[in-house]
Structures are given as structure tokens and as C-alpha cells.
Structure 1
Amino acid sequence: MKRVLVIRLSAIGDVVMTVPVISSLSKAYPDTEIIFVSQKFAAGFIKYIPGVKFFEVDLKGRHKGFFGIFRLYFDLKKLGKIDVIADLHDVIRTKILRLLFAFSSAKKIVIDKGRKEKHDLTKIDSKELRQLEATTSRYAKVFENAGFKFNLEFDYIFTKAPLSEAVLTITNQKDCKWVGIAPFAKHKGKIYPLEQMEKVVAILSGLPKMKVFLFGGGPYEKGVLDGWEKQHKNTISLAGKLSLEDELKVISNLDVLVSMDSANMHFASLVNTSVVSIWGATHPFAGFYGWNQNPKHALQINLPCRPCSIYGNKPCFRKDYACLNLITPQDVVNKINEVIIA
């Protein structure tokens, strides 16, 4: 039996995008032991992939910092003989890990992130605007280079999951259309203006047979979403109320989720829920579009400066974030209705 160590430590969306690939690999090679190495949050969805074991990395504790990398190495060594190390991250921490495993007999395969072509995609001048290889395809090539041949065949980890009594005390039974809104992302260049998104909530909450669920995390996001819940009828903030696994189950019951270019788009993709995605500084062409999501459901403004960033972390070249501000709340509502009616 071959043993494969798969490493992807962050970010959440990038870890979620490994699921279609790891699931397909596991189905094609059921006799191969796959050990997925990531942070605690990933356990909530990796558990749904048959035959995959999870190894938790504690980047805030035992495995924090430079010396934590050595502790991680020794912890991984305790797992026994490894035949393949698949580095799906290729950052300083994983580069050092690979170096520490240099004298191991394991075959070490590293992702090609396509940094040069992504740089060319985001140039202000002489931009090369074209579809780049999907991240899922880049992940799959790592395993192909290790000798595993398989097709990407993944539908979802679950869909329309039953909700527990504890969750139902918050959501109630579904008796109308459920629309989810996840208005946050890590960087400003990805976030639709919150005052505009609240207008979307206001329009939706006023429609008959419609319930709006708000998704977010952390004190600031919870404060914003709790405020929207109080302000608008038929609106429920789930921020800070559910585990990640329960949030996934709620998302699986939505008719549509509105998301930025963020982890929530990828969570919805795991549970067969359609996404209306809003794109600003980033672009689907960079290869981060949700698995099996309909490209027609992406909302974006075509500007010559877009995309200006892969991660949305660069200041706006125009200084006005026109890529986001030119999308109207009614545009968002119209796209939601288009998805629901379809």
C-alpha cells in the first residue's frame, strides 16, 4: 500500500479547492493511504472524503514559527514510511519541510502555481487577459507527476443535508426560498461595498416567501451582520452561532449563495449550491472559480485594469474601486432571481 502525504496549510479557500482532487484520487486509488496535512478548520470537510486521514497542524501553538516547522517535521516522521509527499502549497514553511525530508526515500512533488502567468494577467500595462489553468487542475497535476493517473470526478460531499434541532431553532424549517449572503473577504479589493450589500439585503427581505441568511466570522463581521438582522425582516445572521460543519449543512439547503471571491464560494461548491459571485480586483481567469459553478453567475465589470491583483490585496490603481462600485444592488438581485428561477 502506498502512503501519500498531502500538504496544504492555508488559505481556507485554497484548502477547500483540494477536495475535488483528493476525493477523485481516493476513488481511483482506494488502496492508497492519503494523509491530509492542514489546519483544524479543514477537518470539518476532509472527514467526508472516504479513505483520507487528517493530520492537524497547529500554527498558533506547537507548530508556530521557525522551530515549529522542525516540530512538525518530527511529528510527521512519527507517521512512518511515506512514499509520496505532495506539496500543494509551496511556501517557505513547506519548502523547509521538503528540505528536512531531503534524505527520505519519499518522492517529493510540488505544485506549479503559475506565478509568471498570474503576474502577466494582473499587469496594468500590456495585460495578457486569458483563462489560466484552474487551481484544481494544478493540484491534480502534482499527483499525476507522482505517477497517479485519474480523472477529476467529484460532485459534492453532501447536498440538502438534514439540519439538527439546534440549527433549526435558528433557521426554522424551510418553507420558502433561502438566500445566503457572505459579504466579506480577506482583502478590500474583493469586498462589495457593505452599504450596497445592505441594500441587497433590504430588497430581498422585502420579497414574498424569501428568507436571507448572513454568513461571516469574527467580532467585526458579526457586529455588522447582527445589525443587518435587526434592521431587516426575514433576515438571520448565522455569524458566531454555528460550527463550520453546521454552516456547510445550512449552505447545502440554500437556493443560492451570494459570495465574494472567497472561501464561501468554495464551501458552496462542496455541497452543490449555486453561487452568485461578485468579482472586483480579482478575476475568474486566475483559476480560482468555484468547482462546477456556472460562469454565467459571476458578476463583474469589464475594465481595462481588471484584474489588478490575484488576491485582492493591492490598492486600487484608479483609487475608486470602480470594479465593485459600478455593480448596483439591483444587478445583484437580478442575478439572484435569474439563478433561482433557472
Structure 2
Amino acid sequence: MRLLVIRLSALGDVAMTVPVLTTLARQYPEIDITVLSRPSMQPLFAEMPCNVHFRGVDVSRYKGIGGLFRLFRELTKKEHYDVVADLHNVLRSKILRMFFMLASAKVAHIDKGRKEKKALVRPRHKIMKQLPSSFTRYEDVFKELGYPIKTTFHSIFGEDKGDIALFQQITGTPDNKHWIGIAPFAAHKGKTLPQEITKALIQELSAHTDRRIFLFGGGKTEKELLEEWAAMGSNILSLAGKLKLNEELALMSHLKVMICMDSGNMHLASLTGTPVISIWGATHPFAGFMGWNQSMDNAIQIDLPCRPCSIFGNKTCLRKDYACLNGITSEKIIQHIERILRTATNPSGICSFAGDSSKKETNSSIY
């Protein structure tokens, strides 16, 4: 039995397939699974069970119906796929799965819950409730195809951590200091921590000599800013442009805690079994995008009647002041960090983590 899984972008959404596909591959070792995604996503699947294969595709080379038919022909030239799981469900993947249906493959696609998400973010009369997570929505696709699973997953590295040799030339070898990661950026302003808050956070953390601070980000503007912040202390290091994705994943597995926005880095760190403190502005965990195995207790957000106003954080602030982000203080973030560091020192006090936050009844109004 050959199964094709389609999830072309974006980074966070592709990362969220990893726990589900790992479980699927282990529970059904007789299935030969091929994951179709962008080439840059390959490191996410490098540690998968041996019945999972990755195929990278540059979708810009396959434009229009004709281009997608050419991709379909290339995919089926050597392999016949009996089952197709469309975990993307956009126009491009809809056309592609139509070709597979005409070729007699069994096809199922994700229900993104657009109607209930719209009710969550509308300006008035919001329906504030936890929606199914992407993990659950992915599971439902495979259940429809006849492969029910209950996702169990710890880390892409299993019970171990990533290879130190992949990053030690840049960072040095992990020692008895608390290694802390900070990824303050996101794709949209509504999900990005204001610079003055980030700077204050880095300054306060770096004042402790028993800590090393690693700054994650990319792009010219982010790189310049991270380098500027890294210059504030000898125990701060900007990683922008210095590590590849597989090297970043290995490093993340050795962090005591990662501070992220609702972004791809939140999901990457979650895949390595590292506790994540996630900061939410225009978006909300209720939409179903909390990182794998992360606790709602570590989600920092402010209760405002306008929140959430966006699923992806790409809408202009209705108040014009981004109070959902500007009202979050560095002191509040540090309180969460200190609690996690105490837990790491005293494991007996560890709180339980839910593999799927959508299955917990949690009041997430104020943190």
C-alpha cells in the first residue's frame, strides 16, 4: 500500500504533520508513505521511520492546471499511489488530488474548520472555544482513509537529543549553564513581540551569568537587529544565518526553554521535546495551532474583547495600538522562564503536558 501525503507549506503547518506521520508510520509499518512538500522541509522528516520517504518539490515550476498535471505524471511515473491524504486543501492541492481520484486512488482532505475559525475572530459576538488542533484535523484525514491513530510523540530525536557536533562549532558544547532560546519574530506584526520588550527581556536574562541566550531569526533586517542585541552581553549569541535547519533543530533539543511567538519556531522547538513559552497577540491558541505537547500554562496572552482578531496575525490592529502585544511585559515572560528553570532543576515539580491542547478545558484569558 502506497500513501502520498500532500502538505506544501508553511513551515509551522508542515512541522505539525511530523508527530502525526511518525505515529502513523509506526502503527502501520506495512504502508509506504511519501511526503510531498517544499525541499527546505526535508530536515523535519530526516529522523522518520524507514517507511516514510520525503519528496521535495518546487511548486513554482508547476503553474496552472497543465503544470500540476505534469507534476502528477512525474509523481506517478515510477510509483502508483493507492491512497492520497491532502493535508493542505488549497486550490493547488485540490487540483492535484483530483488527478489522483481520476486515477482511482482513494483520496481524503483536511477540514480546516474555516466557519468556526471565522466565528472565533469576528469583531463582535465571538464564539470563544477551543477548536480542534491541526494534529486532530490531520488524524481525522487518516481515519477517513481507514487508518485511525492516536498520536503519541516525544521528539524527532526519540528519547534522545540532537547531535551536538551539528552546532558546537558555533555555540560551543552544552555545559552546566541554562541554555535559553528566544525567537521574537513572526511573519506578521500582529504576532511579533515589540522590539523594546524583546530588548528588555534579553538584557534581564543575560544579567545572570549562569545563562546563555541564543537568538533565532532570519532575513537581513532581523539579522541586523539580533546582532545588535547580541552585542549587549558576552553570553548572548545571534544564530541568524549561522545554522541550517537540521542544526537549529539539534540545538533546540538542548535548550532548557524556548521563548517564541505563534510562529514556525514554536513548532520546531516543540518537535524537539523542549518546553516552549509561547506569546500570543492577534492570534489565539483556541484556533488550534498550539505547539505539540506544549502546556497552555506556558501561553502568555492578554484578555481583550478584540482578541483574537486574526487566525494568522496578518490583519491590521482595529485599535491601532497592538495592545495585545504592547501590554505583555518582559517581567511576565521572565516569571514563566524562572518557573520552567526551577522545574528543570527539580523534576518532581514538573507539570503535565497535553499532547493535544484542544482536548483540555483551560481558561486562557489571562496569563
Q: How far did residue 120 of structure 1 move?
A: 0.2
CA distance in 2, matches of 1:257, 1:96: 39
In structure 1, the residue corresponding to 2:59 is in which secondary structure?
coil
Whole-Å separation in 2 of the counterparts to 1:174 and 1:154: 25
Amino acid across the alignment from 1:252: S
Letter aligned with residue 251 of structure 1:
M
1:66 Cα deviation after fit: 5.5
Tell whether 2:183 aligns with 1:188: no
> Does the 8 Å CA contact 1:36/1:54 hold for their aligned counterparts?
yes
TM superposition score normalised by structure 1: 0.96
How far apart are 1:76 and its partner, in Å? 1.2
Question: Superposition pairs for residues 30-69 of structure 1, below 5 Å?
Answer: 30-50=29-49, 51-60=51-60, 62-64=61-63, 67-69=66-68
Contact 1:122 1:306 in 2 (8 A): yes
Partner residue in 2 for 1:275: 276
Q: Which residue in 2 is equivalent to 1:178?
A: 179
The residue type equivalent to 2:275 in the other structure is S
Look up the equivalent residue of 1:245 and give its one-letter code.
N
Tell which deviates more after alignment, 91-100 or 31-40: 91-100
Structure 1 counterpart SS, 2:107: strand
1:208 and 1:54 map into 2 onto residues whose CA distance is 42
Q: CA-to-partner distance for each residue in 1:142-162, whole Å, 9 max, x for gaps?
A: 000000122211111114323
Residue number in structure 2 paired with 1:107: 106
Pairwise mapping of residues 301-340 of structure 1 onto structure 2 (< 5 A)? Answer: 301-340=302-341
The amino acid of 2:161's aligned partner reads: K
2:300 equivalent in structure 1: 299
Distance in 2 between residues matched to 1:335 and 1:273, nearest whole Å: 14
Q: Which moves more between the two structures, 38-47 or 150-159?
A: 150-159
Cα distance, 1:218 vs. partner? Answer: 1.7
Question: What is the aligned length?
Answer: 339
Query: Which one is further off, 108-117 or 220-229?
Result: 220-229
- 5 Å-filtered alignment, 1:70-85, equals 70-85=69-84
CA deviations on 1:33-87 (whole Å, 9 max, x unpaired) are 0000000122102121112011111134x33566432332221122421111100
Contact 2:65–2:95 (CA under 8 A) maintained in structure 1: no
Deviations 1:97-146 (A, max 9, x none): 12223311101101000000000000110000000001100001000000
Alignment-mate amino acid for residue 31 of structure 1: E
Letter in 2 for 1:290: G
AA in 2 matched with 1:38? S
Q: Give the corresponding residue for 1:259.
A: 260
Question: For the residues of structure 1 that align with 2:218 and 2:78, how far apart are their CA atoms?
Answer: 34
Matches within 5 A, 1:138-153: 138-153=137-152
Cα separation, 1, equivalents of 2:200 and 2:72: 50
Q: For the Cα contact (< 8 Å) 1:161–1:250, is it kept in 2?
A: yes
Report the equivalent of 1:210. Answer: 211
> What residue number does 1:136 align with?
135
Superposition RMSD in Å: 1.3
CA contact (8 A) 1:201 1:232 kept: no
2:153 aligns to what? Answer: 154
**Distance in 2 separating the partners of 1:145 and 1:189:** 35
SS of residue in 2 equivalent to 1:257? strand
Aligned to 2:235: 234
The answer for the alignment partner of 1:7 in structure 2 is 6
SS at match of 1:55: strand
TM-score, structure 2 length as denominator?
Answer: 0.90
Q: Distance in 1 between matches of 2:268 and 2:193?
A: 19
Instruction: Give the deviation of 1:296 after TM superposition.
Output: 0.2
Q: Is the 8 A contact 1:58 1:64 kept in 2?
A: no
5+ residue gaps in structure 1?
A: none
Q: Deviation of residue 339 (structure 1)?
A: 1.2
CA–CA distance in 2 between the matches of 1:241 and 1:64?
33
Q: Percent identity?
A: 49
Task: For residue 71 of structure 2, give the secondary structure of its aligned residue in structure 1.
Answer: helix
